[in-house]
């Protein structure tokens, strides 16, 4: 973008310089095993790997990926009754007869919720100057690492990879490898397994636009403190913010969202000292005691983690305590063992519960069991496991990358035929997004699929090709597999 030179020329020059430097040092490399991830002969197989993932789903019963054709067989035989899959939250339940009556488009749309590579709306780091999505490690203090351009948070339809399906296997695998314990612990924290509950808080808002859902769903590891909830906090990007915001609070909410857009997720996670937020003007109802709870937004809640909403218990969580103290919100003691709540939060699980309705007088384990049972019986939630690790965003809105081997027909994504690989990166005149905001590949002329409307215009991330070249070194010149 900065030089106007074709990336292939820059790449070729850099490789030649690097090889010359290695030769001058005296290293004796077998250059017949060299691979170049930007060559069509190599990225043909990167595209092939994408296709295998697209044609697979993760079966939790067998704890492995299986062909999507097996999932279709299950749908034909018993609908969703016998399906235990890693999938989107928005999947629907249906009978075999329902599946048979679905149109092809409806079937493909539902299957996309199960595939290991899939499309979904995600909150991303968007750099308008570069015209592309950036990974968290490509953003520093709200600016792109390359070029120093402003970066904002934006919702976009993106290709993603369902790596969360493998979270438990990754955790178990850490017990079998000979790595230093601090490194393994860092990996465990990155995966971030949390055992807790999902709770639905019904909404009460004067906004007539609210259709469904008519509740906010919250994941918490401390359901035992639910009677101490004095407010809910949504991520500023949460889909319900626009309909929950009342006219009197609209200006404050808009200003807060604009400020948040300038921060990366890493910046928001790292900033534990400042307190900020804005009240939407709407309320939720605590399902356990029917009390009204004000709904706020704050940048310490991330849209991509859990449900993008938290139940705030100031007596048990220090960040919630700081927020409540700053904005003058109630702090409710829920355990007889909590102390010094006028100074700080006390997250203790000791003692017995007070001011807590159906769990008054119970211990922590007794309370959790009773609350989870109540949630299930009353349709207000369920026990749930959550992970800090999130699915990897796989698309990039830039030119220099492997084309994603997908074309669209009436808005539905289809794979190109395997015999058509590699889908070669076309030539374009400029490497910036089009005037209509499409990725640079939108500038390609005569780059049109035979059977569809258009190819996918995003390209793969830089790590797509490099994630498997260690394996290719063993057989670098094989053109058939």
Confidence band, pLDDT 50/70/90 cuts, at residue 461:
very high
Confidence band, pLDDT 50/70/90 cuts, at residue 455:
very high
Task: Kindly give, in sequence order, each residue whose CB lies less than 8 Å from that of residue 330, ignoring residues fewer than 6 positions away.
Answer: 230, 314, 324
Q: What percent of the chain has pLDDT over 90?
A: 70
Three-state SS at 386: strand
Who has greater pLDDT, 270 or 37? 37
Q: Can you tell me the distance from the alpha carbon of 304 to that of 289, in angstroms, rounded to the nearest whole number?
A: 29
For residue 61, which phi and psi values (nearest 5 degrees)? -70, -40
Over the stretch 68-99, which tens digit does the pLDDT of each residue have? Answer: 999 999 999 999 999 999 999 889 999 999 99
Q: Is the pLDDT of residue 208 over 60?
A: no
Q: How far is CA 231 from the centre of its chain?
A: 25
Over the stretch 297-332, which tens digit does the pLDDT of each residue have? Answer: 999 998 877 789 999 999 999 999 999 999 999 999
Domains along the chain? 193-387 (3.90.740.10)
Over the stretch 277-286, which tens digit does the pLDDT of each residue have? Answer: 999 999 999 9
Q: Can you tell me the distance from the alpha carbon of 33 to that of 453, in angstroms, rounded to the nearest whole number?
A: 39
Q: Is the pLDDT of residue 452 over 80?
A: no
Closest CA to 74 of 94, 54, 55, 90: 94
Over the stretch 24-59, which tens digit does the pLDDT of each residue have? Answer: 999 888 888 999 999 999 999 999 999 999 999 999
Are 215 and 203 spatial neighbours (Cβ–Cβ below 8 Å)? yes
Least confident of 135-144, 202-211, 373-382: 202-211
- Whole-angstrom CA distances from 128 to 141, 145, 262, 404, 432 are 16, 14, 12, 22, 10
Give pLDDT, residue 431: 83
Give pLDDT, residue 206: 60
């Amino acid at each position: 973008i900065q030089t106007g030179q074709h990336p292939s020329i820059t790449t070729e020059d850099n490789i030649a310089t690097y090889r010359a430097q290695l030769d001058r040092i005296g290293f004796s490399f077998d250059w017949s095993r060299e691979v170049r991830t930007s060559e069509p002969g190599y990225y043909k197989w990167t595209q092939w790997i994408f296709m295998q993932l697209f044609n697979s789903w993760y079966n939790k019963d067998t704890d492995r990926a299986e062909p999507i054709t097996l999932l279709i067989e299950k749908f034909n035989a018993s609908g969703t009754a016998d399906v235990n899959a890693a999938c989107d939250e928005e999947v629907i339940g249906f009978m075999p007869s329902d599946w048979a009556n679905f149109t092809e488009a409806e079937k493909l749309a539902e299957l996309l919720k199960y595939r290991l590579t899939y499309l979904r709306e995600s909150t991303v780091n968007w750099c308008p100057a570069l015209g592309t999505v950036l990974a968290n490690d490509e953003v520093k203090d709200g600016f792109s690492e390359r070029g120093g351009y402003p970066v904002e948070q934006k919702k976009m339809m993106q290709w993603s990879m369902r790596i969360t399906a493998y979270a438990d296997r990754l955790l178990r695998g850490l017990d079998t490898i000979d790595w230093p314990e601090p490194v393994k612990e860092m990996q465990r924290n990155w995966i971030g397994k949390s055992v807790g509950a999902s709770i639905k808080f019904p909404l009460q808002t004067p906004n007539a636009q609210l259709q469904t859902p008519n509740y906010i769903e919250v994941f918490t590891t401390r359901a035992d403190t639910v009677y101490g909830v004095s407010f809910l906090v949504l991520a500023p990007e949460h889909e319900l913010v626009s309909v929950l915001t009342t006219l009197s609070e609209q200006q404050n909410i808009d200003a807060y969202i604009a400020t948040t857009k300038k921060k990366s997720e890493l910046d928001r996670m790292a900033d534990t000292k400042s307190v900020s937020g804005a009240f939407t003007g709407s309320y939720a109802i605590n399902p356990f005691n029917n009390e009204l709870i004000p709904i706020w937004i704050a940048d310490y809640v991330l849209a991509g983690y859990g449900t993008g909403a938290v139940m705030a218990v100031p007596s048990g969580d220090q960040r919630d305590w700081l927020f409540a103290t700053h904005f003058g919100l109630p702090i409710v003691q829920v355990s007889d063992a909590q102390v010094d709540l006028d100074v700080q939060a006390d997250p203790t699980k000791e003692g017995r519960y007070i001011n807590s309705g159906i769990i008054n007088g119970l211990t922590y384990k007794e309370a959790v069991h009773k609350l989870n049972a109540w949630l299930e019986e009353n349709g207000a939630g369920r026990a749930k496991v959550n992970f800090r690790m999130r699915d990897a965003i796989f698309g990039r809105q830039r030119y220099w990358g492997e084309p994603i081997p997908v074309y669209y027909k009436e808005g539905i994504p289809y794979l190109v035929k395997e015999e058509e690989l590699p889908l070669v990166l076309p030539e374009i005149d400029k490497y910036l997004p089009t005037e209509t905001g499409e990725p640079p590949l939108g500038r390609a002329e005569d780059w049109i699929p035979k059977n569809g409307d258009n190819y996918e215009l995003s390209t793969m991330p830089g790590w797509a090709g490099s994630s498997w070249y260690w394996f290719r070194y063993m057989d670098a010149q094989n053109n058939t597999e």
